[in-house]
Amino acid sequence: MKTLAPQLCLAFSVFAASASAATTVAETQLASGTAFDLAQAAVAQCAKDNYAVTATVVDRSGRVLAQLRQNNAGPHTLDSSRKKAFTAVSMKQPTANLMTLVNDKPLMAPLKDMDDNLLFLAGGLPVNVNNQVVAAIGVGGAPGGHLDVVCAEAAIKAVIK
């Protein structure tokens, strides 16, 4: 038994050291200034076509980084744009894709009820940097989600290089 004691102590100390070692993960985040630039670009794009909208940019966890409501945009656009952005970042795909999925496959309809922050309407897009979702933008208020998408796409194209 005495000959096993040193090995057991060594094994235990290696296990204890690895179990107590902190593990970290490095994540790319969108800068708040960039988030503001995205929101401004989306609102400006929609304004060119006389659409009063709100644009919201969320981080990878769905927390708001920037939100800009144009004059005359409806009060509901604050929440709808945020929920579109949250949905896009949570599901890592455009909300228009999710809307189609739920409409075409009734079996997927319960997805809408997973979280009160989800909104399956067109207008939310993930923001990718180096093939990694780092944020999302949601636009609400144009007369049709497809037009919200145009404004969000234009903002991403203009700001994210």
Domain of 75, CATH number, reads 3.30.450.150
pLDDT in tens, 81-132: 999 999 999 999 999 999 999 999 999 989 888 999 999 999 999 999 999 9
The range of the structural domain enclosing residue 59 comes to 29-159
Query: How far is the C-alpha of 99 from the C-alpha of 3, rounded, in Å?
Result: 66
Q: Distance between CA atoms of 83 and 79, rounded to whole angstroms?
A: 6
> Is residue 18 a part of any domain in this protein?
no
How many distinct structural domains can be found in the chain?
Answer: 1
Does the pLDDT at position 10 exceed 90? no
User: Is 33 contained in some domain?
Assistant: yes
Q: By the 8 A CB rule, do 64 and 58 touch?
A: yes
